[in-house]
A and B are shown apart, each in its own frame.
Chain A
Amino acid sequence: QVQLQESGPGLVKPSETLSLTCTVSGYSISSGYYWGWIRQPPGKGLEWIGSIYHSGSTYYNPSLKSRVTISVDTSKNQISLKLSSVTAADTAVYYCAGKQSVTVDYWGQGTLVTVSS
């Protein structure tokens, strides 16, 4: 069974860079699948941030593209997210997700990131 676990600081200061890691177990990310980051501001819906294929090809939400970097570390079986120049509007629960083809099959448990000084 594929399991995803997000980790990273729960508090980030405005203008700094948010950095999160997703550790995948039960599946080797170098074998395939698409991996992505999705966020959910308090009381709101789900927003796709971006995704990466095991080969390293990346795709980003146009509204966040200038601030987002997603990468993979196949040696650690991890996917990483960096979001620069954060503001209070970036406060959200951040989820890692994986899919074999069209739609998401697996979700992480999520991690709350608060942007505040």
Chain B
Amino acid sequence: QPVLTQSSSASASLGSSVKLTCTLSSGRSTYIIAWHQQQPGKAPRYLMKLEGSGSYNKGSGVPDRFSGSSSGADRYLTISNLQSEDEADYYCETWDSNTWVFGGGTKLTVL
């Protein structure tokens, strides 16, 4: 089954931009993934579905500041004009052979 690799932490300043990475394991570069945001003490929230082509489809109410892109086995989540409420854990997720797979998550700190 596919493995999703994420950096454990990232930080960026208020008002700046940050790009988070999720890397698919070998042979899975065409896989669709999703990005989910988990603010402190809350349930995860679906942000977007992201294809290998770079095309993405955001969930209802997700601000325009959130965008996705892809390059090979890497899937990116870019957050522009960082706000304090963007400080959260971000998880990528995919599916293979009826198995749901989550990355380890990236903790984003807004400075």
Asked whether, in the complex, the Cβ of A48 is within 8 Å of the Cβ of B43, the reply is no
Asked whether, in the complex, the Cβ of A95 is within 8 Å of the Cβ of B44, the reply is yes
- Which residue of chain A lies nearest to B92 when distances are taken between CB atoms in the complex? A103
Stretch from B12-20, B76-84, B100-108 that touches the partner: B100-108
Asked whether, in the complex, the Cβ of A104 is within 8 Å of the Cβ of B43, the reply is no
Cβ proximity bits B39-69 to A, threshold 8 Å, 1 near / 0 not: 0000111100100000000011000000000
Q: Which of B2-18 contact A (CB under 8 A)?
A: none
Q: How many cross-chain pairs have Cβ atoms below 8 Å apart between A and B?
A: 57
Asked whether, in the complex, the Cβ of A102 is within 8 Å of the Cβ of B102, the reply is no
Asked whether, in the complex, the Cβ of A59 is within 8 Å of the Cβ of B36, the reply is no
List the A side residues contacting B105 at CB < 8 Å: 45-46
List the B side residues contacting A107 at CB < 8 Å: 36, 43-46
List the B side residues contacting A45 at CB < 8 Å: 91, 102-105
A3 CB to nearest chain B CB (Å): 12
How far, in angstroms, from A110 to B42 measured CA to CA in the complex? Answer: 8
Is residue A80 within 8 Å, beta carbon to beta carbon, of the partner chain?
no
Residues A38 and B43 in contact in the complex (CB < 8 Å), given A45-B91, A46-B91, A102-B32: no
Is residue A47 within 8 Å, beta carbon to beta carbon, of the partner chain?
yes
- Which residue of chain B lies nearest to A1 when distances are taken between CB atoms in the complex? B60
Asked whether, in the complex, the Cβ of B44 is within 8 Å of the Cβ of A46, the reply is yes
Asked whether, in the complex, the Cβ of A102 is within 8 Å of the Cβ of B98, the reply is no
How far, in angstroms, from A115 to B32 measured CA to CA in the complex? Answer: 36
- Which residue of chain A lies nearest to B34 when distances are taken between CB atoms in the complex? A103
List the B side residues contacting A102 at CB < 8 Å: 32, 34, 49, 94-95
Is residue B33 within 8 Å, beta carbon to beta carbon, of the partner chain?
yes
- Interface CB pairs A-B, < 8 A, 24: A1-B60, A36-B100, A38-B100, A45-B102, A45-B103, A45-B104, A46-B44, A46-B91, A46-B102, A47-B102, A48-B99, A48-B100, A95-B43, A102-B95, A103-B46, A103-B94, A103-B95, A104-B34, A104-B93, A105-B46, A106-B46, A107-B43, A107-B44, A110-B43
B residues contacting A by CB (< 8 A) are 32-34, 36, 43-46, 49, 59-60, 91, 93-95, 98-105
A residues contacting B by CB (< 8 A) are 1, 36, 38, 45-48, 51, 59, 61, 95, 99, 102-110
